[in-house]
């Protein structure tokens, strides 16, 4: 278990905490996600986020992050079909997915603090790509 040393600070870069309580999300432009020859890439530069050094408390600092993740699918496509037609039922879900290898480069910056990682990989862990629909967005006409 990680225990920060005395005087160290935890950094939590996120879009902000919305009044609904939703956090760790931010809207990205459609152009940031591309699909080429089956690989899916998310590329973001200098996205404005908040670094919460105390969850829900003081210490919110404007920061910038760069994110570059590429998912390369492999293997057979897996199909999931809805278990219900009720829009609010969690089993009302359909999708087509393939396992993938993901490689990411991440960095974040603010006054007095920065971090970076290069070529972090999902090798030996888990990643997948696909299309899904749920609730009123289910389209099981295939």
DSSP string, 35-60: EETTEEEEEEEEEEEEEESSTTSS-E
CA distance 91 to 32: 30
Q: What angle do CA 68, 73, 133 make, to 5 degrees?
A: 90
Q: What angle do CA 96, 78, 41 make, to 5 degrees?
A: 55
The DSSP call for residue 20 is T
In whole angstroms, give the CA distance from residue 75 to residue 37.
15
> 34: which 2 tokens?
């591309």
The larger pLDDT score, comparing residue 87 to residue 64, is at 64
CB contact set of 75 (below 8 Å; sequence gap of 6+): 98, 99
Span 98-103, mean pLDDT? 96
pLDDT above 50: residue 69 = yes
Does residue 30 have a pLDDT over 50? yes
What pLDDT score was predicted for residue 6? 46
Average confidence score pLDDT of the chain = 83
CB atoms within 10 A of CB 71: 22
- Residue 119 φ then ψ, to 5°: 50, 45
Look at residue 2 in the predicted model and tell me its pLDDT.
Answer: 40
Confidence of residue 139 (pLDDT cuts 50, 70, 90): low
């Amino acid at each position: 278990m990680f225990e920060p040393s005395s005087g160290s600070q935890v950094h939590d870069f996120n879009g902000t905490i919305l009044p609904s309580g939703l956090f760790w999300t931010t809207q990205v432009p459609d152009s940031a996600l591309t699909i080429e020859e089956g690989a899916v890439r998310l590329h973001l530069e200098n996205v404005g986020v908040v670094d919460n050094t105390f969850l829900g408390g003081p210490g919110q600092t404007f920061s910038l992050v760069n994110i570059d993740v590429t998912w390369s699918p492999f293997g057979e496509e897996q199909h999931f079909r809805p278990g219900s037609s009720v829009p609010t039922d969690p089993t009302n879900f359909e999708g087509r997915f393939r396992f993938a290898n993901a490689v990411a480069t991440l960095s974040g910056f603010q006054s007095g603090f920065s971090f970076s990682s290069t070529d972090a990989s999902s090798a030996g862990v888990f990643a997948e790509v696909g299309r899904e629909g749920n609730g009123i967005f289910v389209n099981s006409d295939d």
